[in-house]
């Protein structure tokens, strides 16, 4: 029997995902948008069936990171010649 004051597993996952999303946004702000998107997509894939609400939060992050106004999050590479 669990202690009523302990947070539920669902609440722990929600809190962890919130922290993860903050970290990914900070990673993107350092110019690592591609890496942040890859990690968000991997986490979305893990959560999408069993935790769809948390997966949706990651989907929202992906939309945020890839918005045209956020293009500065990604490394600008010179075209190959």
Q: Provide block-wise average pLDDT over 10 residues at a time, the chain (81 residues).
A: 73 97 97 97 97 98 94 72 55
pTM of the model: 0.82
- C-alpha dihedral (35, 13, 53, 72), degrees to nearest 10: -20
Give the Cα-Cα-Cα angle 72, 77, 80 (nearest 5 degrees). Answer: 155
pLDDT recorded at residue 32: 96
Domain ranges of the chain: 31-68
Q: Identify the burial level of 54 via C-beta atoms within 10 angstroms of its C-beta, where 0-12 means exposed, 13-18 middle and 19 or more buried.
A: buried
pLDDT recorded at residue 2: 56
């Amino acid at each position: 029997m669990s202690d009523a004051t302990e947070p539920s597993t669902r609440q722990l996952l929600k809190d962890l995902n919130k922290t993860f999303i903050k970290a990914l946004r900070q990673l993107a702000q350092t110019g690592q948008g591609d890496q942040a998107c890859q990690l968000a997509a991997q986490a979305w894939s893990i959560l999408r069936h069993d935790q769809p609400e948390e997966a949706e939060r990651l989907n929202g992050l992906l939309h945020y990171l890839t918005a045209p106004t956020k293009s500065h999050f990604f490394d600008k590479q010179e075209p190959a010649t």
